[in-house]
């Protein structure tokens, strides 16, 4: 039904005073015209009052496959531009409706998310794209519709030699690549049926875990395609709004192994075992003993960490498992530590809370950890291989990173119990800067697009630490500061979110030479 009133309404994607609008209601999973008056959806007086205080962005979040409204979806509005402050997320109503009012004029990125669904950004061209910014003026009303796709799933059955389902077998889905990345796990039910949900689209390898049967027959981990290894297994394609079913896995029989022993580290209640199949925890008994069963041959790591913040200790063992191993003893040793120093080029110490060292443990991959240390500080961390990043204000550029006593040239380093890594970062206040506008094929500013800088020299890439990524503001402008000098390629995109998604071999990409202490201003054009 169509109504004509004198209040402000949203028509298309702009606000206007007066005129007519068709009211909408939900039915059969899609928007339909109805006899519900416009004022039953939102009062014209309330809209006018909200617009008087600023711009309004409102709309609906729908399930893409059915078109039905998604209640309690989380809607996030991120302003573009330096110094802009974000808004607290809002949740959709039972009808899938949301409204964000009292907004200043500017450009915003609008996203919606809900558990079990892929996050959607307004205007995105692909499922994980950055989206198109919403640009509003003072007193305007913008309506948007966001459709969320349900994440993919794989399903199938774990069977024995007679084709009968085996219950309580762990099944894991790994994102295909090197190395494999665990994406989801489940266990087969009483029929041997499994379903791993919440998967991004892409290729996966699906594997069963080890299991000891009632007659003590061991089942070895087996990939879909009846393969003991990932390389010879069959990959599985996963799509949004879809379930890849019918997978049949018959685990291979074999001998499963055991590791047991004692932990002598005070204040430890459990010990962790890491293998290529994942991570397991075992609780210590009253005498400090532990035991792990249903293991397969290969390399395993045992780590027992105390929780005492003042004097952390750790017990550690790295074993090659080819037979049962009992009586393993984990004796205490000091936990690994890092010391972080910041220096000027002449060696003078820099002490400021604005600069921080951030560490992420990348191995064991099944148990990531993180730590942050300020200039001049130190911290006790965990056993493993760590990836470092240095975060600095725009006025600083990183000119050198040393990890002692490790060789230079890498931002990754391993640490064992009792070891200390000294990380020395040399900072320069003469970093390079690059700014300008990103222009589309027609020469108009590209608002809310991503801009990337890719160093030609890998030595420079090691010192960039995320400063080569920017997003254009409401005027299509971008700014890079605190860059290590060197040669770069520049690229803009509405589709890519990371530099790895850009085709840097494209000969049409712009090349720039950034010199120490200088600021270069130049426009960049979107390809095509």
Between residues 311 and 57, the one the model is more confident about: 57
The C-alpha angle with vertex 430 and arms to 424 and 431, in degrees rounded to 5, equals 80
Q: Does residue 129 carry a pLDDT above 70?
A: yes
| Distance between CA atoms of residues 419 and 432, nearest Å | 36
Beta-carbon contacts of residue 318 (< 8 Å; ≥ 6 apart): 299, 300, 301, 302
How far, rounded to the nearest angstrom, does the alpha carbon of residue 411 sit from its chain's CA centroid? Answer: 20
Q: Is the pLDDT of residue 475 over 70?
A: yes
Burial class (CB in 10 A: 0-12, 13-18, 19+), 18: exposed
pLDDT score of 2? 32
pLDDT digits (tens, 9 = 90+) for 240-281: 999 999 999 999 999 999 999 999 999 899 999 999 878 999
- Compute the mean pLDDT over every residue in the chain, rounded to the nearest whole number: 87
pLDDT digits over 394-415, tens only? 889 999 999 988 766 789 999 9
Q: Residue 450: in which H helix or E strand, if any? A: strand 450-455
Q: Cα(177)–Cα(366) distance, rounded to whole angstroms?
A: 16
Q: What are the two backbone dihedrals, phi and then psi, of residue 49, each rounded to the nearest 5 degrees? A: -65, -40
Instruction: Using pLDDT thresholds of 50, 70 and 90, give the confidence band for residue 29.
Output: very low
Residue 114 exposure: Cα atoms within 13 Å on the Cβ side: 19
With beta carbons less than 8 A apart as the criterion, state whether 433 and 479 touch. yes
pLDDT confidence of residue 31: 38
CA–CA separation, 509 and 459 (whole Å): 21
Per-residue pLDDT at 118 exceeds 80: yes
> Which pLDDT value is given to residue 7?
31
Assigned CATH topology for domain 152-249: Immunoglobulin-like (2.60.40)
Please name the residue ranges forming H helices in 428-526: 458-461
pLDDT at residue 308, as a whole number: 72
| Average pLDDT of span 330-341 | 95
Domain 432-525 sits in CATH at 2.60.40.1120
Q: How far apart are CA 480 and CA 431, in angstroms?
A: 10
Q: State the pTM of this model.
A: 0.79
- Does CATH number 3.20.20.70 belong to domain 2-148? no
Task: Give the tens place of pLDDT for each residue, 187-209.
Answer: 999 999 999 999 999 999 999 99
% of the chain residues with pLDDT over 90: 71
CA dihedral 440, 446, 450, 451 (to 10 degrees): 60
Nearest Cα neighbor of 359 from 338, 343, 344 is 338
Half-sphere exposure of 207 (CA within 13 A, CB side): 25
For residue 228, give the nearest of 205, 212, 247, 244 by alpha carbon. 205
Q: Where in the chain are the domains?
A: 2-148, 152-249, 257-334, 337-428, 432-525
Confidence at residue 367, expressed as pLDDT on a 0 to 100 scale: 87
User: Topology of domain 257-334, per CATH?
Assistant: Immunoglobulin-like (2.60.40)
CA 284 to each of CA 258, 281, 308, 325, 390: distance values in angstroms, whole numbers, following the listed order? 16, 10, 17, 17, 38
* pLDDT of res. 116: 96
Is 27's pLDDT higher than 60?
Answer: no
Quick: pLDDT tens for 50-103: 555 789 999 999 999 999 999 999 999 999 876 566 788 999 999 999 999 999
The helix or strand, by DSSP H or E, that contains position 48, with its residue range, turns out to be helix 44-53
The two tokens of residue 438 are 């990103």
Give the pLDDT band of residue 45 (cuts 50, 70, 90).
very low
Is the dihedral angle over the CA atoms 404, 408, 411, 414 positive or is it negative? negative
Statement: residue 513 has pLDDT above 70: yes
| Average pLDDT of the segment spanning 314-328 | 95
Q: Which pair of structure tokens corresponds to residue 21?
A: 């609008």
Higher per-residue confidence, 377 vs 50: 377
Do 257-334 and 337-428 come out as alike in CATH topology?
yes
| Range with the poorest average pLDDT among 40-44, 68-72, 331-335 | 40-44
Q: Give the pLDDT confidence score for residue 201 in this predicted structure.
A: 97
28-67 burial code (b ≥16 CB/10 A, e <16) = eeebeeeeeebeeebeeeebbebbeebbbbbbbbbbbeee
How sure is the predictor about 435, in pLDDT bands with cuts at 50, 70 and 90? very high
Question: 3-state DSSP helix/strand/coil percent for the chain, to nearest 5?
Answer: 5, 50, 45
- Looking at domain 337-428, its CATH class is mainly beta
**pLDDT score, position 50:** 52
Report yes or no: 395 and 431 within 8 Å, Cβ to Cβ: yes
């Amino acid at each position: 039904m169509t109504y004509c009133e004198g209040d402000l309404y949203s028509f298309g994607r702009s606000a206007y005073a007066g005129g007519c609008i068709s009211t909408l209601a939900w039915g059969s999973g899609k928007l339909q015209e109805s006899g519900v008056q416009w004022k039953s959806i939102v009062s014209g007086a309330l809209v006018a009052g909200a617009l008087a205080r600023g711009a309004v962005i409102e709309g609906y979040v729908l399930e893409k496959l059915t078109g039905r409204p998604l209640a309690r979806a989380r809607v996030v509005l991120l302003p573009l531009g330096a110094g802009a402050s974000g808004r607290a997320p809002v949740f959709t109503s039972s009808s899938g409706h949301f409204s964000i009012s009292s907004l200043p004029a500017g450009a915003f990125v609008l996203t919606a998310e809900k558990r079990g669904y892929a996050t959607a950004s307004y205007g995105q061209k692909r499922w994980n794209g950055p989206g198109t910014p919403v640009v509003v003026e003072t007193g305007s009303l913008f309506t948007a519709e966001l459709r969320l796709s349900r994440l993919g799933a794989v399903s199938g059955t774990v069977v024995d030699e007679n084709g009968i389902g085996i219950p309580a077998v762990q099944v894991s889905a790994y994102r295909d690549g090197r190395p494999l990345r665990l994406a989801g796990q489940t266990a087969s039910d009483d029929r041997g049926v499994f379903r791993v949900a919440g998967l991004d689209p892409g290729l996966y390898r699906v594997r069963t875990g080890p299991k000891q049967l009632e007659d003590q027959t061991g089942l070895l981990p087996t990939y879909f395609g009846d393969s003991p290894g990932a390389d010879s297994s069959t990959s599985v394609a996963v799509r949004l709004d879809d379930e890849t079913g019918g997978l049949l896995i018959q685990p291979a029989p074999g001998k499963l192994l055991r590791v047991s022993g004692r932990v002598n580290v005070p204040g430890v209640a459990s010990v962790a075992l890491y293998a290529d199949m994942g991570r397991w925890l075992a609780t210590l008994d009253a005498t400090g003993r532990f035991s792990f069963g249903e293991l397969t041959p290969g390399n395993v790591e045992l780590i027992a960490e105390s929780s005492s913040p003042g004097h952390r200790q750790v017990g550690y063992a790295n074993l090659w498992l080819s037979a049962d191993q009992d009586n393993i003893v984990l004796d205490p040793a000091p936990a690994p530590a890092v010391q972080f120093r910041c220096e000027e080029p002449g060696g003078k110490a820099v002490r400021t809370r604005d600069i921080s060292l951030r560490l992420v443990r990348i191995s064991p991959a099944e148990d990531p950890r993180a730590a942050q240390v300020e200039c001049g500080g130190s911290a006790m961390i965990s056993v493993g291989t760590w990836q470092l990043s240095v975060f600095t204000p725009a006025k600083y550029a990183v000119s050198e990173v040393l990890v002692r006593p490790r060789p230079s040239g890498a931002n990754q380093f391993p640490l064992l119990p009792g070891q200390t890594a000294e990380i020395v970062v040399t900072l320069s206040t003469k970093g390079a800067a690059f700014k300008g506008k990103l222009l589309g094929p027609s020469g108009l500013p590209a608002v809310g697009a991503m801009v990337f800088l890719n160093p030609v020299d890998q030595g420079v890439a090691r010192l960039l630490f995320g400063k080569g990524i920017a997003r254009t503001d409401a005027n299509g402008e971008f700014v890079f500061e605190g860059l290590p000098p060197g040669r770069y390629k520049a690229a803009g995109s509405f589709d890519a979110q990371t530099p790895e998604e850009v085709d840097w071999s494209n000969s049409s990409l712009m090349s720039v030479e950034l010199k120490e202490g200088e600021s270069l201003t130049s426009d960049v054009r979107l390809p095509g």
